[in-house]
Amino acid sequence: MEKLATEAADAAIASLAGWTRQDEKWIAGSYRFVSFPAAIAFVSQIAEVAEAMNHHPFIGIDYKKVTLRLTTWHAGGLTELDIRSAERYNEVYQASIAGQR
């Protein structure tokens, strides 16, 4: 998995609802829920996706808000794996009835 060129990464991130680039190496996305248990349930769901992809985001849970951060360590930056992971997390969020971001 090779590091994406900056332009390619920017184009991919632009199509990811709720996600932004934090710096050269990281993208971050936040999700809001109606309750703390709903936020925890989402984390359990995306954890299964992460484990299956063997690509693990940093996860922050601040009451009803979950923030995910992604990078690809072995590539030293962003790769397709990060983009695909973010897409999958957005799908999990959309599939939940947990509320609005």
Q: Which is nearer to its own copies, 12 or 72 (CB)?
A: 72
List contacts with its own copies (CB under 8 A): 36-37, 40, 43-44, 47, 50-51, 56, 58-63
As measured in angstroms, the least distance from the Cβ of 17 to its own copies is 23
Q: Which is nearer to its own copies, 10 or 51 (CB)?
A: 51
As measured in angstroms, the least distance from the Cβ of 20 to its own copies is 19
Are 50 and 56 contacting, i.e. CB atoms less than 8 angstroms apart?
yes
Region of 45 (left: φ > 0; alpha: ψ -120 to 50; beta: rest) is alpha
Q: Which is nearer to its own copies, 16 or 61 (CB)?
A: 61
As measured in angstroms, the least distance from the Cβ of 48 to its own copies is 8
Q: How far apart are CA 66 and CA 33, in angstroms?
A: 8
Phi, psi of 2 (to 5 degrees): -95, 150
Structure tokens at 62: 């601040």
